[in-house]
Amino acid sequence: MTFDLTPEQDQLRDAVRALGRRYGHRYFVEKAKAGEHTTELWAEAGRLGYLGVNIPTEYGGGGGGITELAIVCEELAAAGCPLLLLVVSPAIAATVLNRHGTEEQRKRHLPGLADGSQKIVFAITEPEAGSNFHRLGTVARRDGEGWLLSGRKCYISGVDEAAHVLVVARTEDAGTGKLKPALFLVPTDAAGLTRSKLDMEIVSPENQFLLYLDDVRLPADALVGESLDAGLPALFAGLNPERITVAAMGAGTGRYAIERASEYTATRTVWGGRSIGSHQGVSHPLAHAAVQVELARLMIQKAATLYDAGRDLEAGVAGNMAKYAAGEAAALAVDTAVQALGGAGMTTEYGVATLLGAVRAGRIAPVSREMILNFVAQHVLGQDKSY
């Protein structure tokens, strides 16, 4: 067992950290408050190869794994730039297409995902189904050689920045008559696809949308994979990378908040000459949060290592645990940092309260803490399913 990154991974971490710090949290917040996107950061990260670290070299990527992508997610977040679309586009969409797309789909989409010139977002959540994906109501019907898609999706991130949205729909299985999932690449300007932006209480340059699919007509090759049988494995393929990278983003955000708070409390004095950080009522909560973040990072490393070794089932357990741990640790770290900074903690200038909404959402999305606890209770502890 080793806890060391390879020299290449170390270099990647240092380089991404340097890029993130050049932009920093102020840039992130200014973009968010102006209703703009972090276009410059995304483009530069793409040019430098950081967005495609997990994509095979033959499609223009770095040939690494989720370990490398998690490093990118964590370090940008640790610099105050938690980019949610890293989780959606390179982690979910690129993995799904690489593992289950047709060769034509890989050739058409992976190079653009690798250099950041193309984004593909992901739409599974629906208003009526919520956490219960068995209730998905978006349906794909045969239309000659192609497909007609109808349904509604909610909270879909980044639709305004993406060329395509990877939509999870259901098709009728000719053999059993049952509905089974299938993934479709839907151009965001397709006729019949409309969107409306949701007002979210999160300071973020990335937006969430309601999507309406009203008989969206698609060609045959919009279906991900060679046949309908690719649907279920393709859907599952995205889950581990999603959980691991979102956990990495949470851990990075936690590190960022603790660093901001520690700098402040080490120098702020209000009682004589002693720093407020010398009071254990201030330093212990920060130290406790630092322990939680570090524990989450260990679990992320384990999950990414298992995933990259092709041990998907074990990675599923570790990835869920990592996502849970990092979601809780990030929320704790940001809240603790705000408290340690006192009034300054609530200002935009000190850049910690600006993350409260994002870390709160990290306990709900992309999979809620309760659904992870259900998963662990059933699959690790052998308990009956309650729902």
Ligand X SMILES: Cc1cc2nc3c(=O)[nH]c(=O)nc-3n(C[C@H](O)[C@H](O)[C@H](O)COP(=O)(O)OP(=O)(O)OC[C@H]3O[C@@H](n4cnc5c(N)ncnc54)[C@H](O)[C@@H]3O)c2cc1C
Note the residues at the interface with ligand X (CB under 6 A): 88, 121-125, 130-131, 155-157, 202, 208, 361, 364-368, 370-371, 374, 387
Estimate the crossing angle of helix 66-78 against helix 7-33, to 10 degrees. Answer: 50
Instruction: Give the nearest distance from C-beta 169 to ligand X in angstroms.
Output: 12
- What tokens were used for 343? 């009034």
- C-beta of 48 vs 200, nearer to ligand X: 200
| Residues 72, 252: Cα–Cα separation, whole Å | 10
What are the Cα distances from residue 94, in Å, to 52, 111, 147, 209, 311? 9, 10, 23, 21, 19
- C-beta of 57 vs 194, nearer to ligand X: 194
- C-beta of 301 vs 354, nearer to ligand X: 354
| Residues 371, 329: Cα–Cα separation, whole Å | 17
**Closest listed residue to residue 170, CA positions, set 185, 153, 190, 150:** 150
- C-beta of 207 vs 301, nearer to ligand X: 207
Instruction: Give the nearest distance from C-beta 361 to ligand X in angstroms.
Output: 4
Q: Residue with the closest Cβ to ligand X?
A: 130
- C-beta of 171 vs 207, nearer to ligand X: 207
Instruction: Give the nearest distance from C-beta 363 to ligand X in angstroms.
Output: 8
- C-beta of 155 vs 264, nearer to ligand X: 155
10 Å CB burial of residue 9 (0-12, 13-18, 19+) is middle
Instruction: Give the nearest distance from C-beta 243 to ligand X in angstroms.
Output: 11
**Closest listed residue to residue 248, CA positions, set 49, 48, 76:** 76
Cα-only R_g, the chain: 21
Instruction: Give the nearest distance from C-beta 159 to ligand X in angstroms.
Output: 8
Instruction: Give the nearest distance from C-beta 375 to ligand X in angstroms.
Output: 10
Q: Terminal CA-to-CA distance of the chain, rounded, Å?
A: 39
